[in-house]
Amino acid sequence: MKYVILVGVLGITFSLIGLSIVGSSTDEDTIYLRVAENQPYDYPTAQAIDYMGKQLQHYSKGQMQLKLYAGGQLGAEKDTVLANRLNAIDINRVSLSVFNNIEPVTTIPSLPFIFESEEHLHKVLDSEIGGEILQSLEPYGLVGLAFYDSGARSFYNIKKPIHTPRDMVGLKIRVQNTDVSVAMVKALGACPTPMGFGEVYEALVTGVIDGAENNLPSYRTTRHFEVAKHYTFDQHMMTPEILTVSKKVWDNLSSEQRDYIKMAARDSVIKMRDCWKKEVSSAQMELINSENKFVEGVDKSLFIEAMEPVYQKFANTPALIDLKRRIQSVR
């Protein structure tokens, strides 16, 4: 069943599938919080949310529960972000890049090659810098709860192996709807085509695009590997995932209830990191033995050199330059 909720004042239409009402609901003793997730139920982020729900139930002695809508049931990321801001979805899990065009602070951890390794990324996210990035969303009606892993994004395409940026010239590459990704792909000489995650498979099949970029688990779960057989481990971006709560929902909870959510979210990060490692190695096992062609050991410095205009464009205020420097100096 499909319900269309018209948020008349703003003229925005949300198509929320399978929901009889939106926002949190309660029966006599229990608060149910609805969570949006665009990856499938067995993807690590969804598994982590599922675990968070169990922990929340445990801490609140059954008085708070999560109801997970995975697989993009509640819409594409740009729609769920808006719905979350307007209190129509309680908790949302999206790629941090979705906020790049809204809040400049979030562009810095989305910059290409800003993180040297997964360990570096975790250290930054677990430090006060991570806290600042989470807090940067408050003016937009969202409380940043936690970061989840998304590994490293790399390019893949239907046409040819990519060894250097020169191999990318002229390729039409799908990117997330963010100016950072558009600028990155342009700087590499390719043609960026922003579109929603859910539209990429068909665009590859019909030749609207030649390729895209994502982490290996997403390349597998979306089945893009069936169409775009050339995957290059250039690992250009390590933009994390983020979990946000609607500020209106948050403000209506008691401080005890907020603590339960914070504790459950923190527990879920540990679960997530474990699930992520397993997912990456299982994707590697399956795909490396497939007929796909993987390019490993590329000279990343060639890609990094091309990024100078991107850094200039987005690290463009003293505060953002400083944030970039602080991230890069975390050891």
Q: Which residues in this chain contact ligand GCU in the complex, by CB under 6 A?
A: 38-39, 77, 94-95, 150, 176, 197, 214-215, 218, 241
Kindly tell me which of 167 and 241 has the beta carbon lying closer to ligand GCU. Answer: 241
CA dist 45 and 150 (Å) reads 9
User: What's the closest the beta carbon of residue 239 comes to ligand GCU, in angstroms?
Assistant: 8
CA dist 4 and 213 (Å) reads 32
Kindly tell me which of 64 and 212 has the beta carbon lying closer to ligand GCU. Answer: 212
CA distances from 252 to 30, 90, 247 (A): 14, 12, 9
User: What's the closest the beta carbon of residue 180 comes to ligand GCU, in angstroms?
Assistant: 13
Kindly tell me which of 241 and 267 has the beta carbon lying closer to ligand GCU. Answer: 241
User: What's the closest the beta carbon of residue 37 comes to ligand GCU, in angstroms?
Assistant: 8
Kindly tell me which of 219 and 260 has the beta carbon lying closer to ligand GCU. Answer: 219
Kindly tell me which of 236 and 248 has the beta carbon lying closer to ligand GCU. Answer: 236
DSSP string computed for 8-42: GGGTEEEEEET-SS-S-EE-SS-EEEEEEESS-TT
3-class secondary structure, 189 = coil
CA dist 3 and 124 (Å) reads 41
User: What's the closest the beta carbon of residue 242 comes to ligand GCU, in angstroms?
Assistant: 10
Kindly tell me which of 31 and 72 has the beta carbon lying closer to ligand GCU. Answer: 72
CA dist 34 and 49 (Å) reads 11
User: What's the closest the beta carbon of residue 39 comes to ligand GCU, in angstroms?
Assistant: 5
CA dist 184 and 46 (Å) reads 29
User: What's the closest the beta carbon of residue 196 comes to ligand GCU, in angstroms?
Assistant: 7
Return the closest-CA partner of residue 313 out of 108, 106, 99: 108
